[in-house]
Amino acid sequence: MPAYGNDPLTGEVARRFNALFERDVAVFLVSTGTAANGLAFAAACPPYGVIFVHAAAHAQVDECGAPEFFTGGAKLIALHGDNGKVAPGTLAEALAHFYDGFVHHAQPSVLSLTQSTESGTVYTCAEIDALAQVARARRIAVHMDGARFANALVHLGCSPAEATWKAGVDLMSFGATKNGCLAAEAVVFFHPECVRSFDFLRKRSGHLVSKHRVLSAQMLAYLDGDLWLRLASHANRMATQLSSALHGIAGVRLWYPVEANEVFVSFPGDVAWRLMAKGASFHPWQVPGDPAGGRMCRLVTSFNTHADDVDRFVELVRALCEP
């Protein structure tokens, strides 16, 4: 098999993404979401550029400075916003602090939106479009961190094209690992202008896998027969089931609209601790501003969450909260 992406499976991935997005796109596979984001930024942002992100974005909080590393030192500006979303006005206000061509200012280059967001919510197509218009007015690229794109798309019920380039997205990190793949993510360019250097950036960061078909085979299986959407639908349903069942239990508080596969909740007293002690697996969650006084937990459902598991977890919560 030819190495480095010259194999037939990788060619098939390219065709599949064109079909998926109803236009010619350029698609590159890598093995982690951090690499997908970092390389996308490096392609779209000069070293002296600014990348605008939500203050809770993975790229800002959980990638150990990868965006700064891949771009050669771009500046990330963290924007606050309810429910994990950036509001167009907030973006516009932040952009106003940076003057185009003013040599003392790093230059606005990229808006990165997380879809679904770090709060488990989903930008509507209209919301994306409104943000993209603000971005376009300053000629900055719109990037979507779609680590959980499938969950968002299922919630929106629209086409991949409508949820991305038709709403003004220029390039995206198309996640697959969190939704079932072993280790496969795609960087997708909806316009060719940033693509020229991408091959070199990927190679020199060690992200061009020699037996590249290992990535391609995962991605093809993921897309085959809409498996990715079925997996995400299931995960979202489990989240809905979970949040509905938790709703109303004494002392339990839900924090954001549940629109994808994450439920943010706070438990009373030491219930979180006792749930973990009984084997429940979830993480404490810190958010900018922290409305939950340090008590917020993130519950993630996935393609392999069983409805029975959800029920058992809820029963456990109820037993601890309403003894």
Binding site for a copy of itself (CB under 8 A): 4, 30-36, 38-39, 46-50, 61-66, 68-78, 96-97, 103-107, 177-178, 182-183, 197, 199-211, 214, 286, 288
CB of 47 to a copy of itself, least distance (A): 6
Least distance (Å) between residue 91 CB and a copy of itself: 15
For a copy of itself, the closer of residues 183 and 229 by Cβ is: 183
Which of 78, 180, 162, 87 minimizes the C-alpha distance to 127? Answer: 87
* SS3 (DSSP) at 203: helix
Q: Give residue 108's Cα distance to chain centre.
A: 21
Distance of closest approach, residue 266 Cβ to a copy of itself, in angstroms: 17
SS3 for 50?
Answer: strand
Minimum CB–partner distance for residue 282 and a copy of itself (Å): 13
- In whole angstroms, the minimum distance from the beta carbon of 296 to a copy of itself comes to 13
Which of 300, 291, 233, 231 is CA-nearest to residue 262? 300
Q: Which is nearer to a copy of itself, 268 or 288 (CB)?
A: 288
In which region does residue 286 sit, left (phi positive, over 0), alpha (psi from -120 to 50) or beta (all else)?
A: beta
Identify the CA nearest to 27 among candidates 230, 151, 184.
Answer: 184
* Amino acid at the residue 312: R
C-alpha distances (whole Å) from 155 to each of 36, 84, 167, 175, 273 are: 23, 16, 16, 16, 31
Q: Which helix (H) or strand (E) holds 9?
A: helix 8-21
DSSP state letter for 127: H
Nearer to a copy of itself (CB atom), residue 83 or residue 177: 177
Taking the complex as a whole, how short is the minimal distance between the CB of residue 169 and a copy of itself, in angstroms?
A: 21
Q: Name the minimum Å distance from CB 70 to a copy of itself.
A: 8
Q: Which is nearer to a copy of itself, 31 or 301 (CB)?
A: 31
- Burial call 283-314: b when 16+ CB within 10 Å, e when fewer: eebebeeeebeebbbbbbbbbebeeeebeebb
Q: Which is nearer to a copy of itself, 36 or 265 (CB)?
A: 36
Residue 132 has a CB neighbour count (10 Å cut-off) of: 21
Q: Of 4 and 273, which has the nearer Cβ to a copy of itself?
A: 4
CB of 174 to a copy of itself, least distance (A): 15
**Residue 114 beta carbon to a copy of itself: minimum distance, rounded to whole angstroms:** 15
Q: Are 184 and 218 in contact (CB under 8 A)?
A: yes
Choice between 7 and 123, CB closer to a copy of itself = 7
What DSSP string runs through 133-169?
Answer: HHHHHTT-EEEEEETTHHHHHHHHTS-HHHHTGGGT-
CA distance 287 to 291: 8
Closer Cβ to a copy of itself, 69 or 220, answer by number: 69
Of 31 and 240, CB closest to a copy of itself = 31
